[in-house]
Structure 1
Amino acid sequence: MAIFTIILAVLTTAANALPGNSSYKDYVNLFLGTENGGNMFPGVSQPFSMVKLGPDVENGKTDAYSGYLPSGQVWGFSMMHESGTGGAPKYGVVSQMPVVGNLSNPLVDLGQNRSVNDTAAVGYYKSSLVSGVDVELAATDHAGFYQYSFPGNDSSSIVVDVSHVLPSFRGLGWGQGYAGGSLSISDNGSSYQGHGIYNNGWNYSPNWTIYFCGHFDQAPISTKTFTGNGSTLYRYDNSRSTNGTYRQGGVFHFEQERVTSRVGISSISAAQACSSLHDEMPVGTTVDHLVSQTQSRWDEQVFGRVTTTETNTTVLTQLYSYMYGMMLIPSNRTNENALWKSSEPHYDDIFTNWDLSRCSTALMQVLQPTAYEEQIRSLIDIWRHEGWLPDARSSDYTGRTQGGSNADNVLADAYVKGVRGGVDWTDGFAAMQTDAEVVPPNNFDPVANDSSTKEGRGALPDWKQYGYITPRFSRAVSRGVEYAVNDFSLYQVASGLDLASDASRYLNRSRNWRNHWNPAQKSFNSSGFLVPRYANSSFEYPYDPTQCDGCYWSDPYYEDTPWSYSFNAQHDIYRLISLSGGREAFIERLETFFTPGLYPGNAAYGSTLFNPGNEPAFNTPYLFNFVGRQDLSVKYSRHAALAFYNAGRGGIPGNSDAGAMQTWILWNMIGLYPMTGQTTFLIGSPWFKHLCISLGEGKSLTITSTGGNKDDAYFVQSLKVNGQSWGKAWVTWNDVFANGGTLDFVLGAEPVFWANGTLPPSPASGDTLTGYT
């Protein structure tokens, strides 16, 4: 017994070790994903915090979705940003901008180039401007810290721009607007308070307000407020802006070479912003203290939950940088809900459940079970007060819905995996039923005016009448397959709540994706694809399965091709296999999907039909598990992971989409992949010799591998689950997560057909299709 205890202690110490004297922060690259379209926010943030303080950069042509661009002029450092989103920029509000000298006209363009590349670490950000000013940033949940170092040969000014917002150059009417506000300066000039009212952006939000409370720790020699027009600075698409280029703010003039500023924000009031500033960042706070505090919090709440014996710095950088990137948003706005009084948690900045429901929320439950339950409760509380579950949300306004009502999938995934706690599942199911039964009012979106893009299922009339969606509705096919998955989610929750009639109805509706299947449609030796269908039941439609025209809001397929969407009925895989011609035909179809050179339009990804930069293809590499070819799941998922992800600035293949890309690669590194709305996890191949995931409440999942490596010897030779030999290419939540567990892999360079046990479940396929044919 004593010997076992000693061995266990040694293994635990090894699992928690990092190379040398390094710490987690040494393996977080905040610029990972800031290029190659990743749109990541590299500024300072706590996990899920309201404040995300960083630079705003403009080059006159490219949208800076997170505020940051690698090149261009810095024109402010603002308190609120999104991370990894697409569509159009959001926020960039409550800004300061340093200027050398006594500024006479704050309405001119104050943008400056940087003299060297910005630097960043967990909790810290620095920009050096060509004017000689260094700007260092740190933050807490509701407050930001600015430290300015000015050149010593002149006085200096700091402009507080209440009207500052991130611009959009896309010409789609998604630019943000400033609708007015206020700024008042204290008698001694060191403090200021006020508010700004903003509108529009990607979700077309009406006016919303943020309050601020700022303090300079050095006394200015003069101050002034300003209002006016500054058309040079504001070159954004303001087609929905209330006041166009109206500008408002204040100028603070200093003689000191070092100036520090502390700013609190709130959605409730300036008084609450001041209270947060006092509590989180009192007088005497330093950058070093805040950075240390932030790093400790990330270590405790995030990084320390996953430990490994890995010593490869590139792999460690990927692991912890991806974990960091997936936990910047949503933003925890609990106690900052200006819309209604509630004792429930409140989260904002959901971008979007269309992206996150596929594999992100499943990993959020594993790594952040407390925050995850809060996020579920928040979704349901939004429904209680606004009538709909949000598919996306920012500035406390719901929108936009890209396809299905995919918050349904998020709730179902939580329910089947045992999330209870403070969740009212009676209300949860009622919220899901609103999506499934009530047609949302049309918001007449200019890019898709046929039905609501704000909430719910806009194409529900066709879905309920025909069992499919006709081309009179935009995104008809992608909505059709997503509505089917949404209805399966209702089936799962209804079954658990013993609502037999509801369960039967929604299970049957979940099979209606089949009504979009045209067996006569052919492409690359494969027959049968999901295609648009008219009200007269005909499939006549001029679509090549490799094409989706613009692949955007007004098209039948959204952000991916018919080839990709034809794999998306994840709850009904065995019916999909049967419709595809059986096991061998399905294997051929899947391998064709990953074959290089077939689709020149996808040159960035080897001209394959597979697009790793968009979420509809996330699950596709793992579908080989359903036809007894787990080795091919490993082959193609590992190729995607190694070819399209890395530890550099372009380290994710496209928009992060609020961490969706990060969670896909993290599941690949772990060696599992979740089937959303089910308890099933498909088995891949881990990257690590030893990885331990803390599951809370003293539970953990430990994953080991021997005999292989992540680069070229990654095929599973054998597997033990909780010490027992395992012959299935899948595990369940109860096997390894509910109470913890172990996965012990033996890996090698050549495929071995080890998974000869029961195939993964396909719940909607029926008793007659319990496996491939």
Structure 2
Amino acid sequence: MVSACAYSGAYPTGYGRYAKNTEGVPEEMFDRLQASGFTHFQQSGTGAIRKYYNYARVTPMVQPLDDLGQSWLLEDERAEAGYYAANLDTGVRCEITVGEKVAVHRYTFPDNDSARVVIDLSCGGLAIDLGRTVPLRAQVESMGYGHGQATVVMEGVPLSVHIEVDAPGWRQMLWYDRRLIPGGTRLDFDSIRHTTLRPFGMLFMGPARAGQTVEVRLGFSLRGCDQARANLEREASGGFEAVRARTRARWRDHLGRVQVDGGTPARRTVMATALYHSLIKPCIADDESPFWPSGGPWAFDICTMWDIYKTQLPLLSAIAPDRAGDVLESLIRVCEEEGNFPIGYRMARGADRFFRQASALAHTALADAHALRRPGIDWTWALVHMVDDLRRLYGEDFWEHGVVHPITHTLDLAYAHHCTAKVARALNDHRLADDLERRSRDWINAFDPATGLLRDSEFYEGGKWNYSFRLLHDMAARIGLAGGDAGFIAKLDTFFGYGAEPVIQPGRAPSPVEMATGYALNRFEGLNNEPDMEAPWAYHYAGRPDRTAEVVHAALTWQFGTGPGGLPGNDDSGGLSSWYVWASLGLFPVAGQNLFLVNAPAFEHARLRVEGGEFVIETSGHRETPIGVDGLGHHPAPQYVQSATLNGRPLHTTHLTAADVHHGGRLHVRLGPEPSTWGHGSRPPSLSHPHP
């Protein structure tokens, strides 16, 4: 539930140097890496979603309280899963670790007569226009002897924190508007707004010897200070090093669920980092929902389903099925409480529906979970909400007319009807399933038969070319609409730029004319755009998996690196990193269809720890390829699947069922330097051709 990081106030997550930006290279807010303290609860790699948390800023200081909010240079940074450390140029060494619901800070001070640790409970959001989050109400209480507690209501959520500070002999005081309140034990604020907000919080102050450490332990809860204290008592026993060790062990277990052999050091580093990013979000807080009183999981930081439903949720389902089930259980409860499945869901009252992005995406994950017979979900109750959600917002027009604009929502809703029909039929409601299946065929209304592409419409972060290669539930009919395999492949080749000149990338502050010229190329944008993440695998459905291999290889080789900026766009809560994990393994999940597509793996050997034991992906004929140009200036060439076996039997199709992967087994892929005919005569299943 809890994260912690250095806080600069910059975009995108409160850490870094950049101003808010959506196109081109971002502008810098400042020219150095700096921090005004260390905050809690951050988004992970998201775009301009307006709210970014960064609550309860903790600042170690050797300056007076008037300097609170000033930023200091960050030096000698070190980061690993569950641990962050850096030096401030004031001479303070700063270390942070987290548990499930706690954060523990350790500060090592230089010699100083009046050192202090300041906790700013008014902090929230970013230091950019429209980026600040202001508490609606707050109560802060100093409980004496290194103890305190507070509740701040942020966006309708009562976030409580219990504070313990080990600083023997230091004074403890409340403060308001950078002024100490000697002897004060409680602060109460109501009806705070931007124009009336003045910073407030708690301070611990005293002399420090060189090398003296002060430990700050924070327990958080969304159900009051008593539960925050209980969380701290349960998780923070043993102090900083004990919390760090337990968290490191949990991360080692989760990251160990995908193991790869071979690969260059850079490729292995990117793979491990991508897996780590894939497992940070969504946040799951057991027994912490502030909106319903019962126990069970409460998942937040689903920012957004549009970003994670294709890649990240299938990854969680494969290697962390208990947590994937918790996400789905929480989504069903959100729908029950708030009336719809959210597209985005933050730690805030009210689901972010993100109307423009997409419609009815939770249905894909639910359909996959049902096909895998996931326990712990009342499927009769889930089906009630799946059906009801189909008729909300754009779904009402789709129900009446079989088409809706923005036209991409027609595809979303048709696909969601298909996913819901599968669950309904499995529950023996055949009348409902027949009706849903009939409506699922209305995807065809989104396409222009004259072009084989989507009809003209408004599009969210893309155009009709980006969205025209979605992996629909009836790809056979969709390819037929584009003129058959040859016509469809020709359009895909145009989209991916085969035979075209390289595209010049936009720089800092690109002009509207420059951006419009780029969009007019109707080209693949390179995975920074969610609609493009599945497009390379559309070749599979036209019998050209060799083309998929080329595009995916190019993306893995040229678009990811080991340094800052090593991603080709926003990570979007781990959605992009999950794409990298799957692509490196030579698999791609088709969300909602209980299906994996097979491609050339980037590693010689890989193992996934799944419910059924291990799913092993091994290769013969594999050749190591670097990221980017190698030291000799060579451009690494792709490898192609020549043949494959599953559990020792020939695999003539280019796909597996999800059950094949989740139950464990062995996929052997023979690779070669030239395209083969493997997969040219087979197709993954489609609604009109279910058994290729």
Pick the TM interval, shorter chain: 0.7 to 0.9
State the Cα distance separating 1:636 from its structure 2 match: 1.0
Alignment match, 1:621: 536
1:463 is aligned, of 398, 401, 407, to 398
SS of the aligned residue for 2:297 comes to coil
Letter in 2 for 1:265: F
Alignment match, 2:555: 640
Alpha-carbon displacement from aligned partner over 1:322-377 (angstroms, at most 9, x marks no partner): 11111111111111122212243222221111111112211111110111122221
Letter in 2 for 1:64: P
Structure 2 Cα separation of the partners of residues 153 and 348 of structure 1: 42
State yes or no: 1:514 paired with 2:444. Answer: yes
Letter in 2 for 1:634: A
Alignment match, 1:543: none
State the Cα distance separating 1:668 from its structure 2 match: 0.7
- 8 Å CA contact 2:618–2:667 kept in 1: the answer is yes
- 8 Å CA contact 2:288–2:295 kept in 1: the answer is no
State yes or no: 1:411 paired with 2:370. Answer: no
Alignment match, 1:349: 301
- 8 Å CA contact 2:94–2:105 kept in 1: the answer is yes
Alignment match, 2:418: 488
- 8 Å CA contact 1:123–1:291 kept in 2: the answer is yes
State yes or no: 1:359 paired with 2:311. Answer: yes
Alignment match, 2:23: none
1:436 is aligned, of 390, 400, 411, to 390
Structure 2 Cα separation of the partners of residues 484 and 273 of structure 1: 44
- 8 Å CA contact 1:198–1:208 kept in 2: the answer is yes
Alignment match, 1:176: 133
Q: How does 1:238-637 map to 2 (within 5 A)?
A: 241=193, 244-256=196-208, 257-282=212-237, 284-287=238-241, 289-300=242-253, 302-310=254-262, 312-397=264-349, 398-401=351-354, 402-419=357-374, 421-437=375-391, 439=392, 458-470=393-405, 476-520=406-450, 527-532=451-456, 556-568=458-470, 570-595=472-497, 609-611=523-525, 612-637=527-552
- 8 Å CA contact 1:66–1:85 kept in 2: the answer is no
Alignment match, 1:18: none
Q: 1:505 to 1:195 in 2, by over 3 A?
A: same
Structure 2 Cα separation of the partners of residues 311 and 367 of structure 1: 22
Alpha-carbon displacement from aligned partner over 1:530-559 (angstroms, at most 9, x marks no partner): 1247xxxxxxxxxxxxxxxxxxxxxx1011
Structure 2 Cα separation of the partners of residues 504 and 614 of structure 1: 34
- 8 Å CA contact 2:421–2:434 kept in 1: the answer is yes
Alpha-carbon displacement from aligned partner over 1:585-643 (angstroms, at most 9, x marks no partner): 11111111111657958658997711211111111101111111111111111111211
1:196 is aligned, of 135, 148, 152, to 152
- 8 Å CA contact 2:12–2:45 kept in 1: the answer is no
Alignment match, 2:188: none
| Unaligned residue ranges in structure 1 (runs of 5+) | 1-49, 200-206, 231-239, 440-457, 471-475, 521-526, 534-555
Letter in 2 for 1:656: D
State yes or no: 1:706 paired with 2:620. Answer: yes
- 8 Å CA contact 2:343–2:358 kept in 1: the answer is no
CA RMSD of aligned residues (A): 2.4
Structure 1 Cα separation of the partners of residues 473 and 129 of structure 2: 37
Alignment match, 1:226: 175
Q: 1:175 to 1:187 in 2, by over 3 A?
A: closer
- 8 Å CA contact 2:277–2:574 kept in 1: the answer is yes
Structure 2 Cα separation of the partners of residues 679 and 331 of structure 1: 25
State the Cα distance separating 1:713 from its structure 2 match: 5.0
Q: 1:410 to 1:175 in 2, by over 3 A?
A: farther
Alignment match, 2:82: 123
State the Cα distance separating 1:716 from its structure 2 match: 0.7
- Percent of residue pairs identical: 26
State yes or no: 1:160 paired with 2:160. Answer: no
Structure 1 Cα separation of the partners of residues 650 and 12 of structure 2: 51
Structure 2 Cα separation of the partners of residues 653 and 713 of structure 1: 20
Q: 1:770 to 1:77 in 2, by over 3 A?
A: same
Structure 2 Cα separation of the partners of residues 567 and 488 of structure 1: 18
Alignment match, 2:5: 54
Alpha-carbon displacement from aligned partner over 1:706-729 (angstroms, at most 9, x marks no partner): 112253352111111110112111
State the Cα distance separating 1:688 from its structure 2 match: 1.9
- 8 Å CA contact 2:597–2:654 kept in 1: the answer is yes
| Unaligned residue ranges in structure 2 (runs of 5+) | 19-31, 180-191, 508-517, 626-636
Letter in 1 for 2:673: A
Q: 1:179 to 1:714 in 2, by over 3 A?
A: same
SS of the aligned residue for 2:177 comes to strand
Alignment match, 1:91: 53
Aligned residues: 636
Letter in 2 for 1:79: H
TM-score by length of 2: 0.87
State the Cα distance separating 1:168 from its structure 2 match: 5.6
State the Cα distance separating 1:293 from its structure 2 match: 2.2
Alpha-carbon displacement from aligned partner over 1:257-314 (angstroms, at most 9, x marks no partner): 32111111111111111111112113x5233x333222211112x1221223326322
Letter in 1 for 2:150: G
State the Cα distance separating 1:484 from its structure 2 match: 1.7
- 8 Å CA contact 1:728–1:756 kept in 2: the answer is no
- 8 Å CA contact 1:51–1:142 kept in 2: the answer is yes
Structure 2 Cα separation of the partners of residues 168 and 217 of structure 1: 31
SS of the aligned residue for 1:214 comes to strand
Alpha-carbon displacement from aligned partner over 1:732-763 (angstroms, at most 9, x marks no partner): 123x2242111111111111112255321112
Structure 2 Cα separation of the partners of residues 529 and 601 of structure 1: 25
State yes or no: 1:139 paired with 2:88. Answer: no
SS of the aligned residue for 1:351 comes to coil
Structure 2 Cα separation of the partners of residues 752 and 395 of structure 1: 50
Alignment match, 1:215: 164
- 8 Å CA contact 1:599–1:609 kept in 2: the answer is no
Alpha-carbon displacement from aligned partner over 1:21-59 (angstroms, at most 9, x marks no partner): xxxxxxxxxxxxxxxxxxxxxxxxxxxxx110111113x
SS of the aligned residue for 1:567 comes to coil
Structure 1 Cα separation of the partners of residues 602 and 302 of structure 2: 30
Alpha-carbon displacement from aligned partner over 1:492-527 (angstroms, at most 9, x marks no partner): 21222222222222222222232122234xxxxxx2
SS of the aligned residue for 2:117 comes to strand
Structure 1 Cα separation of the partners of residues 16 and 597 of structure 2: 37
Alignment match, 1:672: 587
- 8 Å CA contact 1:488–1:507 kept in 2: the answer is yes
Q: 1:430 to 1:562 in 2, by over 3 A?
A: same
- 8 Å CA contact 2:105–2:215 kept in 1: the answer is yes
- 8 Å CA contact 1:146–1:260 kept in 2: the answer is yes
- 8 Å CA contact 1:53–1:137 kept in 2: the answer is yes
Alignment match, 1:76: 37
Alignment match, 1:746: 670
State the Cα distance separating 1:195 from its structure 2 match: 1.1
Following TM superposition, the consecutive aligned residue runs of length 4 or more in structure 1 with deviations greater than 6 angstroms are: 604-608
Letter in 1 for 2:4: L
Structure 2 Cα separation of the partners of residues 197 and 757 of structure 1: 60
Structure 2 Cα separation of the partners of residues 299 and 569 of structure 1: 34
SS of the aligned residue for 1:338 comes to coil
State the Cα distance separating 1:243 from its structure 2 match: 5.7
Q: 1:489 to 1:210 in 2, by over 3 A?
A: same
TM-score by length of 1: 0.78
